[in-house]
Copies of this chain bind each other. A is one copy, B any other.
Amino acid sequence: MADDRLSVIFGALADPTRRAILGRLADGEATVTELTAPFSISMPAISRHLKVLERAGLIARSRSGQRLSSTLRAAPLQEATEWMERYRRFWDASFDRLDAHLRQAEPGREAD
């Protein structure tokens, strides 16, 4: 995967296990053991998913004794959303001028 910021963020979100982990963390911080429990994969596998999420800035980790807790950090989701905003006009009801431009560019085709 490319190592630019958005690629790292989208890449982190491109895995259902990692998205499920974020879902769990929305209910509050959790240890690696707790995050492993709901899944049928090994702890080392979860450990590496957490590293991917951490690299993307989607979680922060803090040790308290033996336990290593992960906390959700949603700022990167905002970055991702902001990137997508650029395309919002393509799915919005207010399609207007641009829609016209596209139709004109290939007159024979209708939007599906």
Contacts and interface: CB of A to CB of B under 8 A. Distances in A.
A91 B106 contact: no
Interface residues of A, number: 44
Contacts of A91: 74-75, 77-78
A77 B84 contact: yes
A102 interface: yes
Interface of A: 1-2, 4, 6-7, 10-11, 13-16, 19, 22-23, 26, 28-29, 60, 62, 64, 69, 71-75, 77-78, 80-81, 83-84, 86-88, 90-91, 101-102, 105-106, 108-109, 112
B16 A71 contact: no
Nearest to A23: B86
